């Protein structure tokens, strides 16, 4: 019998605990607390947060201790896996504090890894130096529908080159990085970019540019929307063989290019598309499940710290240097 790996969560905000607290646990797994408490490969042993109200709710719902002290939590629980779900700017300092007193087997860090490249490099170096496996919570990488599309592209069932459009909001690094990382997964490494519009600043670290990004197997426009009016995140890609659209629901739609009746060479998109199911109602479970596969020695689809650092490097190149900026 496999002994579950012990897990400590640091930060009980929305992704740590809040998103699904009042939702049906049979249908929705949106947080680290619910994912690691319900997956059989893991045992949730505690959480750390300075807010007494959040610790109270955590203890009420998950029947294990909420700590206000990181040091006490590490000493008492001795976790094998630590999840960092604090604000991005604090990731590097918290990981440094952890590794001063503890050496977990795995750290799972919220995205983006950091806002600055210095902090992101520091995190990767710290974990590498202590032989701690580092993963970053780019949830779409672990979704079964996303994995299916990756397999179709790699096998040639979906042909390249790809042209695409991504709508994102709430910052290029903060939320746009979800889709940048996804497109790296599907289309291969970042090659270059054209900055079409620098967009507005979101904070001292982030902004919302309109940028055309070229990956190894395609080119995708990233266009910012307005989070203050409504959140909007969609992906549309065109292949020589058809069109893939992923809106804000739980399905992707693939429309193959098919010959038109009575015409020898002309094709059009199929009127009825193929529905490719995603599992975004249980997105955090999928990450935990892929992590469990990796820990058991299987191949798993979860973003490594090194891959997340590569995503951040490419995006900073676009934000800070402009790459090839149109005049």
Residue at token pair 């995006």: 315
Q: Looking at the DSSP assignment, which residues form a beta bridge with residue 201?
A: 207
Helix H or strand E segment including 116: none
Structure tokens, 27: 């249908």
* Nearest-angstrom CA–CA distance, 114 and 124: 11
Q: What is the DSSP code (8-state) at residue 323?
A: B
- 140-196 pLDDT tens trace: 999 999 999 999 999 999 999 999 999 999 999 999 999 999 999 999 999 999 999
The answer on pLDDT for 16 being more than 80 is yes
Q: With 60 as the cut, is the pLDDT of residue 288 above it?
A: yes
Question: What pLDDT score does 327 carry?
Answer: 46
- Give the chain's mean pLDDT: 94
Provide mean pLDDT across the span 84-107: 97
pLDDT band at residue 323 using 50, 70 and 90 as cut-offs: low
Joined tokens for residue 145? 């529908």
Identify the structural domains of the chain with CATH numbers, from first to last.
Answer: 5-139 (3.40.50.720), 144-278+305-325 (3.30.360.10)
243 CA to centre of own chain: 23
pLDDT of residue 261: 72
**Residue located via tokens 């693939």:** 254
Other CB atoms closer than 10 Å to residue 1's CB: what's the count? Answer: 3
**Section 277-303 average pLDDT:** 97
Which residues, 6 or more positions from 265, have their beta carbon under 8 angstroms from its beta carbon?
A: 259
pLDDT digits (tens, 9 = 90+) for 24-35: 999 999 999 999
**Residue 257 predicted with pLDDT over 60:** yes
Determine how many CB atoms are found less than 10 A away from the CB of residue 44: 26
**What pTM was estimated for this model as a whole?**
0.94
Residue 2 has a pLDDT of 72
182-215 pLDDT, tens digit per residue, is 999 999 999 999 999 999 999 888 999 999 999 9
Return d(Cα 15, Cα 4) in angstroms, integer: 22
Q: Using alpha carbons, select from 90, 131, 128 the residue that is nearest to residue 110.
A: 90
The span from the CA of 236 to the CA of 144, in Å, is 18
Instruction: Give the whole-angstrom CA distance, residue 307 versus residue 294.
Output: 15
Structure token digits, residue 94:
């918290």
């Amino acid at each position: 019998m496999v002994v579950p790996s012990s897990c400590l969560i640091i930060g009980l905000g929305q992704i740590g605990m809040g998103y699904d607290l009042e939702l049906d646990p049979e249908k929705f797994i949106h947080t680290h607390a619910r994912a690691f408490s319900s997956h059989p490969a893991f045992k949730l042993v505690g959480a750390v947060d300075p807010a007494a109200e959040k610790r109270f709710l955590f203890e009420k719902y998950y029947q294990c201790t909420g700590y206000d002290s990181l040091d006490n939590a590490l000493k008492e629980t001795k976790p094998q896996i630590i999840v960092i779900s604090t604000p991005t700017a604090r990731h590097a300092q918290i990981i440094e504090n952890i590794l001063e007193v503890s050496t977990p087997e795995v750290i799972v860090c919220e995205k983006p890894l950091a806002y600055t490249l210095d902090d992101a490099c520091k995190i990767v170096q710290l974990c590498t130096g202590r032989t701690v496996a580092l993963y970053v919570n780019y949830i779409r990488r672990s979704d079964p529908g996303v994995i299916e599309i990756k397999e179709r592209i790699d096998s040639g069932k979906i042909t390249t080159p790809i042209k695409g459009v991504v709508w994102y909001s709430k910052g290029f690094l903060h939320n746009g990085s979800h889709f940048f990382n996804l497109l790296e997964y599907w289309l291969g490494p970042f090659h270059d970019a054209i900055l079409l519009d620098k967009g507005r600043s979101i904070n001292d670290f982030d902004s919302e540019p309109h940028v055309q990004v070229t990956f190894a197997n395609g080119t995708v426009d990233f266009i910012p929307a307005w989070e203050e009016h409504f959140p909007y995140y969609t992906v549309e890609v065109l292949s020589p063989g058809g069109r893939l659209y992923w809106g804000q629901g739980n399905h992707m739609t693939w429309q193959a290019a098919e010959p038109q009746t009575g015409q020898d060479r002309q094709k059009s998109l199929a009127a009825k598309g193929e529905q490719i199911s995603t599992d975004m109602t249980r997105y955090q479970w999928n990450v935990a499940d892929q992590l469990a596969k990796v820990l058991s020695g299987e191949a798993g689809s979860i973003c490594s710290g090194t891959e997340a650092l590569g995503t951040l490097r490419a995006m900073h190149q676009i934000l800070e240097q402009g790459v090839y900026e149109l005049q």
